[in-house]
């Protein structure tokens, strides 16, 4: 079969022949219709992600949409190495598939899960967002961050504050408040935390997170007690480490939480994907993406970082 293959960690995949998978007990071979090229796919292929495998020579792609061996159109997650989703066929545990509603095209379904699953899980499982609460999204201009505005609304957020470094992109977001990470951001952030923020979703970490946490925690320590702030860490695109003073936690209602593989079981991630696909059309969830044939994997891999690419083996 034809596949994208990572022959060495750090190298872009090449479009080439690869052996076909054979299903064992409790497995299904999926004929892939759409595979998402998301940041984690590149991270795993670089060999530097905490969940990267030990050896190269594999098909990348952690999820996709395709037809299983019983003819059902499914979204599948975490195919079995070395058979990732960026190939004509992939190998998946039967328990790692959920149905895709007929109303959703395969590429759209793959794009929606890729962009929305992070915030879906963070709100529903980790922060347990309640109706009417205020959400602040750091990294709101990215694919996952902008989708988090939509999922926050779906879960009933009362107010959504979007924070990002690109002021032009920020302006286009459907948020209640937009804060560009410029010279005025510290005051604007502090104003929001003074008004009350219940949940932060942080897709970037690094200096930007340090600024948000400083605004959230300085000058606190009320004897009446400070309100809870569930701060959910999702990505480290702006830096792996930040300094956190002990009194930031002691004098505030700050609760630092992560959301990702490990802090959430993969079976739970799959359940979340099924939930969001089931409501996506009715909830009006939408994301921008560009579909390309799998043979154009090189173009997608080296493409514009603002574009979310979906690779289609059959086109």
Ligand X SMILES: NC(=O)c1ccc[n+]([C@@H]2O[C@H](COP(=O)([O-])OP(=O)(O)OC[C@H]3O[C@@H](n4cnc5c(N)ncnc54)[C@H](OP(=O)(O)O)[C@@H]3O)[C@@H](O)[C@H]2O)c1
Measured at the CA of 237, the angle between CA 207 and CA 46, to 5 degrees, comes to 145
Q: C-beta of 10: minimal distance to ligand X in Å?
A: 17
Residues 67, 144: Cα–Cα separation, whole Å: 26
Instruction: Please identify, among the stretches 82-90, 97-105, 163-171, 270-278, the one whose residues bind ligand X according to the rule CB under 6 A.
Output: 163-171
Instruction: Please identify, among the stretches 17-25, 90-98, 135-143, 222-230, the one whose residues bind ligand X according to the rule CB under 6 A.
Output: 135-143
Site for ligand X contains 305 (CB under 6 A): yes
Provide the Cα torsion 48, 294, 273, 126; round to 10°: 20
Among residues 126, 154, 169, 230, the one that binds ligand X under rule CB under 6 A: 169
Instruction: Please identify, among the stretches 51-59, 140-148, 154-162, 272-280, the one whose residues bind ligand X according to the rule CB under 6 A.
Output: 140-148
Q: C-beta of 165: minimal distance to ligand X in Å?
A: 4
Q: Which two tokens stand for residue 162?
A: 């979007």
Residues 311, 35: Cα–Cα separation, whole Å: 5
Per DSSP, 296 falls in state G
Site for ligand X contains 260 (CB under 6 A): yes
CB-nearer residue toward ligand X: 29 or 204: 204
Residues 165, 200: Cα–Cα separation, whole Å: 16
Site for ligand X contains 40 (CB under 6 A): yes
Site for ligand X contains 60 (CB under 6 A): no
Site for ligand X contains 30 (CB under 6 A): no
Residue 302, burial from CB neighbour count under 10 angstroms (0-12, 13-18, 19+): exposed
Residues 305, 314: Cα–Cα separation, whole Å: 24
| Total residues in contact with ligand X, by rule CB under 6 A | 24
Q: C-beta of 66: minimal distance to ligand X in Å?
A: 21
Q: C-beta of 1: minimal distance to ligand X in Å?
A: 28
CB-nearer residue toward ligand X: 27 or 202: 202
Measured at the CA of 155, the angle between CA 111 and CA 73, to 5 degrees, comes to 35
How many Å is the maximal CA-CA distance in the chain?
A: 66
Site for ligand X contains 13 (CB under 6 A): no
Residue 88, burial from CB neighbour count under 10 angstroms (0-12, 13-18, 19+): middle
User: Rule CB under 6 A: which residues touch ligand X?
Assistant: 39-40, 118, 139, 141-145, 164-166, 169, 203-204, 206, 208, 234-235, 237-238, 259-260, 305
């Amino acid at each position: 079969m034809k596949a994208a293959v990572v022959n060495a960690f750090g190298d872009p995949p090449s479009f080439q022949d690869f052996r076909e998978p054979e299903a064992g007990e409790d497995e299904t071979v999926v004929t892939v219709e759409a595979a998402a090229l998301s940041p984690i796919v590149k991270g795993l292929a670089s060999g530097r992600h905490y969940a990267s495998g030990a050896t190269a020579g594999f098909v990348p792609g952690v999820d996709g949409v395709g037809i299983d061996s019983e003819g059902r159109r499914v979204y599948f997650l975490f195919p079995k190495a070395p058979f990732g989703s960026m190939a004509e066929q992939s190998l998946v545990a039967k328990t790692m598939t959920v149905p895709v509603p007929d109303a959703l095209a395969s590429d759209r379904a793959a794009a929606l899960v890729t962009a929305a699953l992070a915030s879906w899980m963070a709100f529903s499982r980790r922060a347990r967002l309640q109706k009417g609460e205020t959400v602040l999204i750091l990294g709101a201009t990215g694919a996952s961050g902008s989708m988090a505005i939509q999922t926050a609304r779906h879960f009933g957020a009362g107010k959504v504050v979007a924070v990002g470094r690109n002021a032009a992109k920020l302006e286009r977001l459907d948020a209640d408040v937009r804060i560009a990470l410029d010279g005025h951001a510290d005051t604007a952030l502090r104003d929001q935390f003074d008004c009350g923020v219940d949940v932060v979703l942080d897709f970037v970490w690094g200096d930007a997170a340090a600024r948000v946490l400083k605004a959230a925690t300085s000058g606190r320590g009320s004897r009446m007690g400070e309100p809870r702030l569930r701060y959910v860490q999702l990505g480290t695109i702006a830096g792996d480490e930040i300094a956190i003073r002990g009194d930031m936690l002691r004098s505030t209602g700050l609760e630092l939480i992560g959301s990702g593989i490990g802090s959430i079981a993969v079976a739970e991630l799959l359940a979340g994907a099924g939930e969001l696909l089931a409501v996506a059309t009715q909830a009006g969830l939408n994301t921008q993406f560009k579909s390309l044939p799998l043979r154009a994997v090189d173009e997608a891999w080296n493409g514009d970082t603002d574009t979310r690419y979906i690779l289609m083996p059959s086109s």
